[in-house]
């Protein structure tokens, strides 16, 4: 079912993430359903994951944030 509110929340979340440096489309995926935002994708460092979550918590319309992001494993060196 189409929900314009969810589309608006998704765009707001994407704009907020872009303002924090998460502008690459290959980096994170945002999906919203009934105000529940799911973030998925790969980040380089754990602090980036925390920053993305912090950036969107409390945004208008966001009822819950589901974290499905993964931190890229470090290669042994």
SS in 3 state form for the chain? Answer: CCCHHHHHHHHHHHHHHHHCCCCCCCCEEEEEECCEEEEEEEECCHHHHHHHHHHHCCCCCCCEEEEEEEECCCCCC
Give this prediction's pTM. 0.85
pLDDT reported for residue 2: 54
**Domain 4-71 part of CATH 3.30.1340.30:** yes
Q: Is the pLDDT score of 69 beyond 90?
A: yes
Q: What per-residue confidence (pLDDT) applies to 29?
A: 93
Which residues, 6+ apart, have CB-to-CB distance to 41 below 8 Å?
26, 27, 28, 29, 69, 70
């Amino acid at each position: 079912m189409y929900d314009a509110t969810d589309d608006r929340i998704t765009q707001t979340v994407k704009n907020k993430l872009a303002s924090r440096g998460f502008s690459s489309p290959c980096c994170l995926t945002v999906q919203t359903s009934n105000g529940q935002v799911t973030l998925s994708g790969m980040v380089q460092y754990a602090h980036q994951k925390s920053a993305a979550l912090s950036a969107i918590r409390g945004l208008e319309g966001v009822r819950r944030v589901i974290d499905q992001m993964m931190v890229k494993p470090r290669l042994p060196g």
